[in-house]
A and B are shown apart, each in its own frame.
Chain A
Amino acid sequence: MFGLDYSWLSDPAYQQWLLKGILNTIELAALSSCAAVIIGLVGALALTLRIFWLDAIVELFVEVFRNTPPLLQMLFAYFTLSTLGLKVTDPSTGLSVPLLSAFACASISLSLFGGALAIEAFRSGIETMPRSIIEAARSLGYSRWSRFWKVEAPIAARICLPALTNILTNLFKTTSQASVITVPELMYYAGQIYNDTFRTLEVMILVLLIYVSLVSIVTFAMARLERWMAFPGYGKGH
């Protein structure tokens, strides 16, 4: 069809590569997404405590990891940390080897990058809380903590869901950059396949479709979550 040649797909080696690539992409995305959400929650909670030095630490973290390209972070973690001394001695060979594997470097830097963005998303949810709601809770006699957990947090979670969806889909796509530090994910294998077969267009189209499908699963799940959590007066609730 359209003169596209997909005969290379019958090669079991390429099938295996694609499968391995997809699995590694999913693993990397799932791991860093979970970690990013956890970092985001912890960071945003820390900000609500209004402790001067804690605020400074969280803000510094956000500035550093949000304002640097994830590609640079990965390269830094992969090549520079071991030079700075993050090494262990391999008991089987007696050689000094870097502590962090390529996969570890990629998942850590993606988690921190996504985490920094998530902190800001959650913070925006908490800070855009209408004053009237807080005042209403206060006048009903809620303490500071129960006000946060029973009134502010549930509303904030719903407000920041769309922003979180954006962050998670972006994080998913950013996993493709891990091929630069040799994490054998989808793009890593795709590049090798089109270099072998000269079928660049065909490989690109297939990889594009795979990414669209995988990311669609994430956005679909998030949309379902949003609908399930919706309550009257906010977002999709009627």
Chain B
Amino acid sequence: MKAAKLFASTALMALGLLTAGSALAGTLDDVKARGKLIVGVKNDYAPYGYLNDKGEIIGFEVELAKYVAKELLGSADKIELVPVVAANRIEFLTAGRIDVIFATLGVTPERDKVIDFTTAYVSSPGPAVMMAKEATTSKWEELKGKPVCGIQGSYYNKKMTEDFGINLVAFKTQPEALRALRDNRCVGFVFDQMTLDLKVQEADWTGYKVAVPTYEYLPMAGGIREGDKAFQEAVDKAITKAEAEGKMIGWETEFNIPHAEYIAERAKAAKAKLN
């Protein structure tokens, strides 16, 4: 009886996937018929996608999403922004609830098995360490055996403890880790460099600096459903056009992001390609 039920539910799920797959074969047509692009974005992750004082979602990737909507549908307003988090964004996409992910999505082989990526548009820095201004540490190796605050579940935690021998003190949330850093429970706070670069510019954190820079950069791209070729080409074209027009560099300025060589290089390459 149990086996029969299991089989039935599995068959139903498979059927659901099949029909979903066929219905979603042409997202580009769907988007045009609907007259609206549905995008999964972050709403808690400055500078890529976050809330402003009025409660609107803004940010680098939100601007990019609006630009893509304008290219596909003729207006940047023909867009619906769906807030997603790292844990649900891929399910939102594969289930058909959103058309595309622009939500700090790093290109990794594991994800590539499940979805396709658009062309990468940002090279996102990995973890770095924020320390007090007086700190003389500048290398990961120098942190061996020292207590460093971090966040539970971060993808680089294992590297911190196993490769660098750091005594990682991992909290549930960022405010707790920052509080512990202030209390001198740790010598530093390990987090992604983009966030830390912005953090040390805040008035409350002037006594701190990004002491140890990141050791890796991860390309960040949009996420779309597998095998959705026509849609992928259209989105890629829009991204390349934005790069060629220098939009990305403009958004870096607008959202207070340090200008990255990667984005400047891509802008140059895109210009050469389109001319």
Residues of A participating in the B interface, judged by any CB pair closer than 8 Å: 13, 79, 82-83, 90, 95-98, 102, 179-180, 182, 188, 191-192, 195-196
Contacts and interface: CB of A to CB of B under 8 A. Distances in A.
B169 interface: yes
Contact of B179 (A79, A191, A192, A196): A79
Instruction: Indicate the member of A79, A96, A98, A192 with the most B CB atoms within 10 Å.
Output: A192
A98 B152 contact: no
B183 A182 contact: no
A97 B170 contact: no
B153 A98 contact: no
A188 B183 CA distance: 21
B170 A195 contact: no
Contact of B184 (A83, A95, A182): A95
A192 B183 contact: no
A98 B185 contact: yes
Interface residues of B, number: 18
Interface of B: 152-155, 157-158, 161-162, 169-172, 176, 179-180, 183-185
Contact of B183 (A97, A179, A196): A97
A180 B176 CA distance: 10
B142 to A, nearest CB: 14
A192 B162 CA distance: 13
A191 B152 contact: yes
Contacts of B170: 182, 188, 192
Contacts of A90: 184
A90 B152 CA distance: 27
A191 B152 CA distance: 7
A154 to B, nearest CB: 46
A49 B171 CA distance: 45
B158 A196 contact: yes
A84 to B, nearest CB: 12
Contact of A192 (B153, B180, B184): B153
A104 to B, nearest CB: 12
A188 B152 CA distance: 8
A153 B176 CA distance: 46
Contacts of A195: 152-155, 157
A102 B183 contact: no
The 7 closest A-B pairs by CB, nearest first: A195-B153, A97-B184, A182-B169, A95-B184, A13-B162, A82-B183, A191-B152
Nearest to B152: A191
B187 to A, nearest CB: 9
Given A97-B183, A102-B185, A182-B169, 19 more contacts: A13-B158, A13-B161, A79-B176, A79-B179, A79-B183, A83-B183, A90-B184, A95-B184, A97-B184, A98-B183, A98-B184, A98-B185, A102-B169, A188-B152, A191-B152, A191-B153, A192-B153, A195-B154, A196-B157
